[in-house]
Amino acid sequence: MAKRVVVFAPHPDDETLGCGGTIASRLNEGYDVSVVFLTDGRYSLAEFGASSGPTPLEMKATRKEEAIRATKILGLREKNLFFLDFEDTTLQKNEKTAQERVSEILQDLSPAEVFFPQENEYNMDHRATNAIIKRAIKTLDLHLIESQYIIAWSFPFYLFLHIMNESMFDRIVSRFPKRKLIHVDISEFFHLKETAMKEYKSQTTLLSVEQERPALKDSFLKRSLKTEEKFFVSILEAKGRSL
C-alpha cells in the first residue's frame, strides 16, 4: 500500500505556492497524496475595497474550480481533494470545529507525512491552520513527518527578508528551536508548479476595475516560483530524512 501524504492549505492556491513541486514529486514516487482546503478564499478582493467584480459567493465557486484544475495539473485526482469550506478569514473563530474535521481526516487517512503553513505567517488563516494541525497531531498522538511550508512571513521577519540576502535570512531562521530548514530541489517538476499556478487567475489577474494590482503581486510570484521549495521540520524528524 502506498504511503499517504496530506497537504493542508488555508486557501486554494497555498498548496501549489507552498509545495506544488513536492506534491508532483511525491505522486511521481508513488505516494497517495491528498489536499485539504480549510477555507473557501471568498474574500481575496476585500483588501482592495472593490465593490465591483465577483461577489464573495462567486469567488468561492471560482477558487474551488481553480483548485481542482491546478491540482489536476500537479497529478492529483479530484477524489483526493477535501474542501472544508470554512468562510475565508474566520478560521480562528472556528478552530475547534476545524480541528475536529482535521482530526477525522488524519484518522481516516493515517498519513506518513503532512504539509501545512509555518507558524510565523503573515495571514491569520495561515497561522490558524498551523495551530489547528499541530494540535490535532498532538491530541491524536500521531507519529509522522511534519513539514511546514512558507508562503509569506509576518512582521518583523518579512522586513528582515527584504534587507538581507535570502541565504543569510535562511541561516538565521533555521536556528529556530527544534526546527530545521530543508531545501528541496523541484527543478524536475517546476514546469508543473508554474503551469498549475496559472490556473489561479482570480489571484494573478485583475477581476475588478477598482484593483490596481492582482491579489498576488508579480514580485511575490517571482519569489515563490523557484526550482526549490523550503520546509521547516523538527530536528528529530529531519535526521536521516531523504526528500
Query: By the 8 A CB rule, do 5 and 112 touch?
Result: yes
Q: Where are the domains of the chain?
A: 4-238
- Using CA atoms, how far residue 231 sits from 170, 202, 215, in Å, is 11, 26, 24
pLDDT digits (tens, 9 = 90+) for 101-123: 999 999 999 999 999 999 999 99
Residue 53 pLDDT level (bands cut at 50, 70, 90): confident
- Helices 56-74/190-197 angle, 10° precision: 160
Stated as kind and residue range, the H or E segment containing 19 is: helix 14-28
Closest among 200, 119, 178 to 154, alpha carbons compared: 119
Residue 130 has a pLDDT of: 98
The Cα 10–Cα 101 span in angstroms is 14
Residue 242 has a pLDDT of: 43
- Using CA atoms, how far residue 12 sits from 9, 41, 61, 144, 202, in Å, is 7, 7, 11, 24, 10
Query: By the 8 A CB rule, do 9 and 60 touch?
Result: no
Alpha carbon 241 to chain centroid, angstroms: 21
How high does pLDDT run on average in the chain? 92
Residue 239 pLDDT level (bands cut at 50, 70, 90): very low
Q: Could you give phi then psi for residue 17, rounded to 5 degrees?
A: -60, -45
Residue 243 has a pLDDT of: 43
Homologous superfamily (CATH) of 4-238 is LmbE-like (3.40.50.10320)
Which residue reads 491546478 in cell numbers? 70
**Cell numbers standing for residue 45:** 478582493
Alpha carbon 86 to chain centroid, angstroms: 16
- Using CA atoms, how far residue 115 sits from 16, 44, 118, 120, 233, in Å, is 12, 23, 9, 15, 10
Q: What DSSP designation does 188 have?
A: G
pLDDT digits (tens, 9 = 90+) for 16-40: 999 999 999 999 999 999 999 999 9
Q: What is the pTM of this model?
A: 0.93
- Helices 14-28/190-197 angle, 10° precision: 140
Query: What is the number of alpha carbons within 13 Å of residue 159 lying toward its C-beta?
Result: 2
